[in-house]
Amino acid sequence: MKFFNREKEIREILSILEFEPNFIYFIYGPINSGKTALINEVINKLDEEYVVFYFDLREIFISKYEDFIEVLFEEYEEDKNPIELVKSLIKDSSILFGIPTPKNTLETLLSKKKPKNVFKYITNILLELRKEGKQPIIILDELQKIGDLKINGFLIYELFNYFISLTKHKHLCHVFCLSSDSLFIEKVYSEAMLKGRADYILVDDFDKETALKFMDFLAENILNKKLSNEEKELIYSYVGGKPVLIINVINKLKTKNLDEVLNYLLNVEISDIMNLLVKAKNNKEKVVNALKLFKDRYEIDAYSIEEDIKELLVKRNILFLDPIKRILRPQSFLTWRAIKILLESKQFFN
């Protein structure tokens, strides 16, 4: 399907790439707002000057050092000089899903179990690419997956100090980190001392005008028909500008009626919040009180909720924290609607 919208964000990232690397960039936003789709569209627009190393942490369970290495490196059986291996691969593609590494070299890196050896190896690869007239880009998607991994202290601290070296000091490689976990980004920013060394790019849900145009676009491409203004307004009142939810609704309209689709999605969201309340146990009252703050408001000050409850609700994707504006809001209109319905339910809130 043709990529829709995000021209502003695409221009911003392409503009960054025109200059030498100087900052670490956090691409953040609510869950399913289209961060990965955006960065993939940017990659598609790059010319052969750029070489992208894309690390997708989404499907990898990371609990130990070897798991981390598995994400960073792509093993090759060829007993070839690592630099020559990389050069041969980028002739066919400007995007690599891991640092191409001969098997014997990877075994050596694994045996030493020291991040500094891994980082030194990667730096040598990047330096050689620059000599070839290439501009390396590192992209880490779902960064929060390595948040609790410890290797000689917090690996995340060592990793971001390395990224500072690549960007602010050596101006060698652009670094973009994608995450919907803004609490984790805040933690990284603070613990890795990134002030003056990092910047933020928000990929938010669509505004209403864009959301309605997106519905038109999808209806034409998926349903081969137009939606009425009343249908689009109803969809927006339930799911707002959340791209993935709009896509979900339009796809389901191929076999179901609109009310059935919207009520199904709402019931799923209600169930998720109810399950959270069951698991919250001793904190149930605090969670309920936090959710009550959204009875009549979509956004509240980030400091309005106790830190432990805020962390719980953000990590469970009930709330979204914008670390720049310092506001909290439901992850979507659908979540907000579910919260307000449950607030009227005596069974769970009294």
Task: Give tens-digit pLDDT for 307-323.
Answer: 999 999 998 999 999 98
Q: What are phi and psi of 175, to 5 degrees?
A: -130, 125
Whole-Å CA distances, 240 to 98, 250, 253: 36, 14, 17
Q: How far is CA 233 from the centre of its chain?
A: 28
pLDDT value at residue 97: 85
pLDDT value at residue 349: 52
In the predicted model, is pLDDT for residue 148 greater than 60?
no
pLDDT value at residue 159: 82
Q: Out of 59-63, 98-102, 337-341, give the one with best mean pLDDT.
A: 337-341
Domains of the chain by residue range: 7-202, 208-349
pLDDT value at residue 147: 63
How many CB atoms are located within 10 Å of the residue 43 CB? Answer: 16
294: left (phi over 0), alpha (psi -120 to 50) or beta: alpha
Rounded to 5, what percent of the chain is helix, strand, coil?
Answer: 55, 15, 30
Burial class (CB in 10 A: 0-12, 13-18, 19+), 288: middle
| Candidate CATH numbers 1.20.1260.10, 3.30.465.10, 1.10.10.10, 3.40.50.10490; the one for domain 208-349 | 1.10.10.10
Q: Which residue has the higher pLDDT, 35 or 58?
A: 35
pLDDT value at residue 270: 95
pLDDT cut 90: percent of the chain above it: 57
Closest CA to 57 of 173, 159, 181, 141: 141
In the predicted model, is pLDDT for residue 59 greater than 90?
no
As assigned by CATH, the class of the 7-202 domain is: alpha beta
Is pTM, for the whole model, over 0.85? yes
Closest CA to 10 of 198, 203, 171, 185: 203
pLDDT value at residue 150: 53
pLDDT value at residue 149: 58
Q: How far apart are CA 129 and CA 131, in angstroms?
A: 5
Q: Out of 76-80, 120-124, 223-227, give the one with best mean pLDDT.
A: 223-227
Question: Residue 151: which pLDDT band, with cuts at 50, 70 and 90?
Answer: very low
* Averaged pLDDT for residues 147-172: 78
Q: Which secondary structure element, helix H or strand E, spans residue 76, and what is its range?
A: strand 73-76
In the predicted model, is pLDDT for residue 80 greater than 80?
no
How many CB atoms are located within 10 Å of the residue 171 CB? Answer: 13
Whole-Å CA distances, 73 to 68, 125, 207, 274: 9, 12, 39, 41
How many CB atoms are located within 10 Å of the residue 157 CB? Answer: 15
Burial class (CB in 10 A: 0-12, 13-18, 19+), 128: middle
165-213 pLDDT, tens digit each:
999 999 999 999 999 888 888 877 776 678 889 999 999 999 999 999 9
What would you report as the CA-atom Rg of the chain, rounded to the nearest whole angstrom?
Answer: 22
Question: Residue 107: which pLDDT band, with cuts at 50, 70 and 90?
Answer: confident
Mean pLDDT of the chain: 87
